[in-house]
Amino acid sequence: MQIATKIWDSGWGAVFLTVYTGVAIQLVRPEPLFLKTLSVLPTILVMFLADQQNNRLINFFAGGELRRSTDQIQKITGHDDFYESASEELQNRVDDFDRRAYQKNISILAGLIIALTTPFVGFYLGGTFGLGIGLVIGLLATQLLTRRSIQELNRLAQNISEPYTAKYENQ
């Protein structure tokens, strides 16, 4: 049950990837029951990758915005240890950014995996028609999971400096 909770806490990308993998396994191999348990493996792999490479993924997908926000915070605070010197409320907002960025990274990676694999699964199951359906599902996954998560990650990175601006403007 702990795996299901971790998947749920990791955001919609993890949930959709698990459901997609389970449905794909069911459609390709409906008989063996033990294969259904394998539907969590891609999600666990994506969660592990997002956990281990979180900073790199954030820098890749929101690096420019995050760098601008960090530079603005350093100008406001005047030193590099802005997290440690910030109030507990500001630290909580930065921690919230980290948690949400982790979820967005999982959604980005899950969307990419779904977008890359659905055409092949569709072709395997239904030939050219299945390939077309797979491409449509892949485009939807790209739009709903990957593109929106990248936009949200960039918005979060832009907004990371707002609490510092608000705090130091009033002093």
Per-residue pLDDT tens for 5-14?
878 778 888 8
Residues 137, 45 contacting (CB under 8 angstroms): no
Residues 157, 60 contacting (CB under 8 angstroms): no
Residues 105, 66 contacting (CB under 8 angstroms): no
Between the CA of residue 51 and those of 10, 45, 106, what are the distances in Å?
10, 10, 9
Quick one: pLDDT at residue 9?
78
- pLDDT over 60 (residue 1): no
Global confidence as pTM: 0.83
Quick one: pLDDT at residue 163?
64
Strands, E, within the chain: which ranges? none
The predicted model gives 49-74 an average pLDDT of 79
Quick one: pLDDT at residue 81?
63
Residue-wise pLDDT tens digits, 154-170 = 888 777 766 666 666 55
Identify which has the larger pLDDT, 147 or 5: 147
Residue-wise pLDDT tens digits, 95-145 = 888 888 888 999 999 999 999 999 999 999 999 999 999 999 999 999 999
Q: How far apart are CA 106 and CA 18, in angstroms?
A: 12
The predicted model gives 56-81 an average pLDDT of 74
Average predicted confidence (pLDDT) for the chain: 83
Identify which has the larger pLDDT, 142 or 64: 142
